[in-house]
Amino acid sequence: MSTRRRGLLASMGLAAALALTISGCAGSGGVDAPDSSGLGDIPADTEGTVRILMESVPDTDIVVDLVASFNETYPGIEVEIETLAFDQMRDKLIASFQSSEPAYDLIVVDNPWMDDFVDAGFLEPLDARIDSTTDYQPEDFFQPLVDITEVEGVRYGVPFYNYALGYLYRTDLYDEAGMAVPNTLDELVANVQQLTTSDRAGIAMQPQRGYKIFEEWANWLFAAGGSIYDETGNPTLDTPEAAAALDAYIEAFTTAAPANSSNWAFDEAFRSVSSGQSASMISYNWNLPGLNDPDGASGELAGSFALAPMPGGKQVLGSWSWAIPANSAASDAAWAFAAWITSPAVDVERVVAGGAAIRESTLSNPTVLESGFGEDYYAAIIAILSDAAPLSQGLGGEEMIQAVGTELSEAVAGTKTVEEALADAQAAVERIQR
Amino acid sequence: MTSTMSFRWAMLAPVLTITGVAVGFPLGYALYLSLTDYRLTSRGAPNFIGLENYLFVLTDPRMWNAFSNTLAYVIVAVALQTVLGLTIALALQKQKWIRDLTRAMLLAPMFITPIAVGLTFRFLLNDQLGAIPAALRSIGISIDFFGPGNALMTLALIDVWQWTPFMVLLLLAGLESIPRQPIEAAKVDGASAWYTFRRVVLPLLTPVLTVAVLLRSLDALKVFEYVYATTRGGPGIETETIQYFTYQTGIQFFRLGEASAVAFVLLAIVMTLIVILFRRLQRSAPR
Amino acid sequence: MTRRTNLWSVARALLLWVAALTVTLPLLWVALASFKSPAQLNDPGLVLFAPNLDNWARVLEAGVLDAAGRSAMVATITVAISVVAGSMGAYAISAYKTGGSATRFGILAAQVLPPAVLVFPFLTMAYALRLDTTYIPVIFAHLSFVLPVITWFLIGFFDAVPRSLEEQARVDGFSRFAAFRMVVLPQVLPGIGAAAIFGFTLSWNDMFYGLILAPTQETILPVAIAAFNTFRGVELGAMSAAIIIAVVPVVIASFFIQRRLVQGISGGAVKF
């Protein structure tokens, strides 16, 4: 027996030794910057291949459709777009950074990752490129979107599309009940309770643990006059406003949300609203065209939906940004594409095709107003994007969001009181910031 | 004697070589990472920090919560699968009519990637969109399948749906490899069907049954996709399994060193359990 | 006696019917969903409707068939290597206890460790050996859990084969390997078939290793299916069509494999 055990130990030791000799590889990935001018205007005769990793969403499909038009200006640049679902894309992206060989030349970055990626040195700073690109008009981007791309005063990305939230509701049901869009959190709770009938919920909510519940509840927090961080960046989740917001959230969930929906996420809520089983939801602004599309999930209900900012005017902002990996093999060509797709003229085409807004001028462009999805919609988006804040700031964004989302879920499930959950959330964020 | 020795080792060589490379290397490497502060976002070589990760992980209540969730899940899922799998395998063995087709059909759930199974059930069990709650409502039952207190068991039942076929597959093959002779002999002696099963079939099936339970348990231990596709570990931390916990720590939160330590704690516990169980089995049933 | 036999066969038929329905009803729901429009998907009770082929067009356009081909290739290579190496190893462990429990339990280690932890070592290895543009890293990663499982799977089957059989063959003049190959192996053929089917499903279903280790732009099937779970909602219709594509060929293949195997045993191998 003892010889066997010794054999096991010996083989494990061998494996460990093997690992140690190769351990130099860990973390050796990263910066290996190939030729890069670092400048803005890229000559039209530039040659190269730009490999892009993107998330499989309609906004990406719109970008894919615009590639042919890009090649009219830059015939020598080949654009290869790989699309994956959100989490897969993220895992693959992280993995690609571990290689010293460039895997992608241009990427899209979600806002919670921005600080971590910059801190790790994964991204190329873009200030010089942005400022030296002719007619780019970077000041035209919605400021909250630009803020997300900025880490310690340096811009590492340009906006790709926003996913700010808003209140989506059925106008016919609001008219029928003789109600107006809520202006306070109390009105929101009262309205959705009044809209609740035996076969229809007043509001489809998204209390799934983690990202979803935090993303939804933070809108309630803002509506209650609270905030996620104070001016100096410290978390403010154990405030009376936060408690009021969570109480209201739980009250609405127990009295006006669909039965047995404690694990619902975006998908369930959207289907519930589009099939007429819920009267409203808090979700991404760009859901409105989808809800009002007669060929979409709403069927006969299409046309009866509208979008409003949250009560109090402030909402949660999410944003994707174009960024160039530090190990990009074709950073000039990558910038050529990123600058082209976000340029004022192309942005109009993108938004008309259904892309989510990034530029203020685009939303007042006559072509967009005429052939887009209606002036009211764009007015609501301008209002939403003028006062919106992301869920996380600084390093560890993803972990912070998950930690708060877990505590909120405990409160909704009843395993913690509102006070306990918020105190624990506050403590968790403080710990992650340390 | 020597020729026997060299023959044995020659037979074992392919497995040892392949696992040595495909398992030994990543295992050793992960062991090394577990002793460092390696983060996926750190540049340069990681720092060696000894057992710090282990001390942190072993005192982390979230890790132990994930561990006990996983254990409850494995026990419920595998126990149900074993009973159902054995019953169905016995029934199938006697079946004559369209037997190959029935067998192939019953295996179908195994061939769907678990993430798709999770997503399918997330909608099938949805109170407004799913067929199952709609059917239950017509007889007056209303359940929040993924709600507090229910979610973990719902996930275990999804596992039962997808992996009972594995038990059927393995046990049916086991039943078919059992020599006919002892069963015939028992019949000739006038033994009842139950007695034959209990005293003749079951003992002969034990090696296969043991392996089936072991393999299924190890696989169920890796439950990740269902959690990911449905509850994301909620409500609260009720369905946070060890794999989901490791994935979040190591990849979503970048702390691969710490996640590796979790993995080796898990490995140590599971290996100890397996060895103890097998010693017990060998002692209680000498062959 | 006959009444009890009848009761038992009724119960047996009933059990099989319930099992068959439990398996097929969710699959039927998936099959129906693959023909539904987005609005129709919101109605779970809808069974009769004009089928819509948009989902199928969408899935074919998304390259799900190519992805299935890649997955089939990876799974077939993985299983072929595992069955050959695994049956030899399982025999050595079962018949001679070679390697002792260190080998026996040691090879299960990768079965316990989370892929989230093992994947980066595999990736480092792929980069270091410049294999990251091939399927070799994926196949290796799959071997790390398929081979141990197949080996263990078969140990139980070899344990059930009487040693006398082999001793008889040796007396008859067979070499050790020939006795294994010609006499012992046929006895465990059902086990090998079942092990191969199971090993195939493990490789066929794996998403995580395939995602990280497969060459860029060459998506494998589970990743292609998961891609329908988007940030803007699950494309249920398209995903359902992809599930059907993933299931039907494998069910058909397993039908023929099982029939072969059952014929294999009843056709002469049983000689007790």
Is-contact A145 A199, C-beta < 8 A?
no
Range of the domain at A407: 165-316+396-433
C chain contacts of residue A5, beta-carbon cutoff 8 Å: 102
Higher pLDDT, B4 or A266: A266
Question: Given a contact as 3+ CB pairs under 8 Å, which chains touch C?
Answer: A, B
A165-170/A280-284 β-pairing: antiparallel
Query: In this structure, is residue B31 part of a structural domain?
Result: no
Q: Which residues of A touch C223 (CB under 8 A)?
A: 84, 88
A34-57 pLDDT tens trace: 567 778 789 999 999 999 999 988
**DSSP structural state of residue C10:** H
Give the pLDDT confidence of B140-180 residue by residue, as tens digits: 999 999 999 999 999 999 999 999 999 998 898 888 878 78
Extended strands (E) in B56-172:
none
C207-245 pLDDT, tens per residue? Answer: 889 988 988 778 899 999 888 888 778 888 999 999 999
Task: Tell me what pLDDT residue C234 has.
Answer: 87
Mutation site for C-interface testing, chosen from B4, B11, B27, B90 by largest number of C Cβ within 10 Å:
B11
- Look at residue B128 in the predicted model and tell me its pLDDT: 87
Is residue A36 one of the residues assigned to a domain? no
Query: A79-83, A94-98, A239-243, C197-201: which range is least confident on average?
Result: A94-98
User: Is B45–A24 a contact, with Cβ atoms under 8 angstroms apart?
Assistant: yes
The residue of B63, B112, B218 whose CB has the most chain C CBs within 10 angstroms, and thus the best one to mutate to test that interface, is B112
- B129, B142, B236: residue with CB nearest A410: B236
Tell me the chain B residues in contact with residue A121 when contact means C-beta distances shorter than 8 Å: 43
pLDDT at residue A5 is higher than 70 = no
Number of domains comprising chain B: 1
Contact between chains at B237 and A27 (C-beta distance less than 8 A): no
- CATH label of the domain that carries residue A400: 3.40.190.10
- Out of B28, B128, B253, the one facing A398 most closely (by C-beta) is B253
Could you tell me where the beta strands, DSSP code E, fall in A65-214? 77-84, 106-110, 150-151, 154-155, 158-162, 165-170
Segments forming the whole domain that contains residue B87:
64-214
Clarify whether residues A182 and A278 are in a common domain: yes
Q: What is the chain C residue with the closest CA to B4?
A: C176
C42–A275 CB contact, under 8 Å: yes
pLDDT at A80 over 70: yes
Q: For chain B, what is the mean pLDDT?
A: 89
**Residue C165's pLDDT is what?**
85
Write the CATH number of the domain with boundaries C63-226.
Answer: 1.10.3720.10
Give the tens place of pLDDT for each residue, B66-87. 999 999 999 999 999 999 999 9
Domain assignment present for A14: no
Q: By percentage, how much of chain C surpasses pLDDT 70?
A: 93
Residue C162 has pLDDT above 80, yes or no: yes
pLDDT value at residue C262: 57
CA-CA distance, A425 to A430, in Å (whole number)? 9
Cα–Cα nearest to C114, from B34, B259, B66, B56: B259
- Which secondary-structure segment (H or E) carries A54? strand A48-55
Q: Quote the number of domains for chain A.
A: 2
**Which residue spans within chain C are E strands per DSSP?**
229-230, 233-234
Same domain, A68 and A142: yes
Could you tell me if A236 and A95 lie in one domain?
Answer: no
pLDDT of A32: 42
Residue A121, in any domain of the structure: yes
Query: Is residue B185 assigned to a domain?
Result: yes
What number is the average pLDDT over the span A92-111?
88
Summarize pLDDT for A132-176 with one digit per residue, the tens.
999 999 999 999 999 999 999 999 999 999 999 999 999 999 999
Model confidence at C264, pLDDT cuts 50, 70, 90, reads: very low
List of E strands, chain B = none
C-proximal residues of B, 171-200, CB under 8 Å:
172-174, 176-181, 193
Would the CB atoms of B14 and C84 count as touching at under 8 Å?
yes
CB contact under 8 A, A299 and C212: no
C216/A99 Cβ within 8 A: no
| Across A51-55, B75-79, B99-103, B203-207, least confident range | B99-103
CA-nearest residue of chain C to B216?
C149
ipTM of the complex: 0.89
d(CA B5, CA C96): 9
What is the pLDDT, as a whole number, of residue B70?
A: 96
Question: pLDDT tens, C241-260?
Answer: 999 998 888 888 888 877 76
pTM: 0.90
Identity of the residue in C132, C217, C227 whose CB atom sits nearest the CB atom of A56: C227
Domain boundaries of chain C, sorted by first residue:
63-226
User: CA nearest C62: which of C241, C211, C188, C260?
Assistant: C241
Please answer yes or no on whether A103 and C216 come within 8 Å at the CB atom: yes
Residue A72 has pLDDT above 60, yes or no: yes
Q: Is residue B140 part of a domain?
A: yes
What's the pLDDT at B7? 87
Are A206 and A331 found together in one domain? Answer: no
In angstroms, the Cα distances linking A347 to A23, A51, A138, A150 are 46, 21, 12, 21
Cβ atoms within 10 A of the Cβ of C163, count? 10
**What pLDDT score does A14 carry?**
42
List, as one string, the DSSP characters of C41-102: HT-TT--S-----HHHHHHHHTTHHHHHHHHHHHHHHHHHHHHHHHHHHHHHHHHH-TTHHH
pLDDT at C41: 85
**What is the pLDDT confidence band of residue C103, given thresholds at 50, 70 and 90?**
confident
Mean pLDDT calculated for residue range C68-87: 95
Residue C2: which pLDDT band, with cuts at 50, 70 and 90?
Answer: low
> Are A264 and A359 found together in one domain?
no
Q: Which range scores top for mean pLDDT: A19-33, A173-187, C8-22?
A: A173-187
The answer to whether residue A22 neighbours chain C at the CB level (below 8 Å) is yes
Q: Is B273 a member of any domain?
A: no
Which of the two residues, A145 and B215, has the higher pLDDT score? Answer: A145
Among A398-412, B16-30, B198-212, C44-58, name the most confident range.
A398-412
User: How do A48-55 and A154-155 pair as beta strands?
Assistant: unpaired
Do A114 and A139 lie in one domain? The reply is: yes
CA angle B163, B168, B173 (to 5 degrees): 135
My answer on whether A181 and A294 are in the same domain is yes
C-alpha span between A137 and C223 (Å, rounded): 39
Size of interface B-C (CB pairs under 8 A): 311
In a shared domain, residues A209 and A237: yes
A151 shares a domain with A209: no
E strand or H helix that includes residue B114: helix B114-124
Q: What mean pLDDT comes out for the span C167-193?
A: 88
Are A327 and A305 in the same domain? no
How high is the pLDDT of residue C263? 52
List of chain B residues whose C-beta atoms are within 8 Å of the C-beta of residue C207: 113-115, 225
CB contact under 8 A, A297 and C39: yes
- Indicate the SS3 state at residue A106: strand
Identify the CATH number of the domain in which residue B124 sits: 1.10.3720.10
Kindly report, residue by residue over C110-137, the tens digit of the pLDDT.
Answer: 788 888 888 988 988 888 888 888 999 9
Lowest mean pLDDT among A85-89, A228-232, C2-6: C2-6
The answer to whether residues A256 and A276 belong to one domain is yes
pLDDT the model gives residue B228:
92
State residue C270's pLDDT score: 34
Judgement on whether residues A262 and A191 belong to the same structural domain of the protein: yes
State what percent of residues in chain A have pLDDT above 90. 81
- The confidence band for C67, taking pLDDT boundaries of 50, 70 and 90, is very high
Tell me if B272 is assigned to some domain.
no
Residue A18 has pLDDT above 60, yes or no: no
Sequence-separated (6 or more) residues with CB below 8 Å from residue B167? B81, B82, B84, B85, B86, B88, B89, B212, B216
Asked whether the predicted pLDDT for residue A25 surpasses 70, the reply is no
Select from C26, C33, C47 the least CA-distant residue to B105.
C26
| Contact yes or no for B253 and A23 at CB 8 A | no
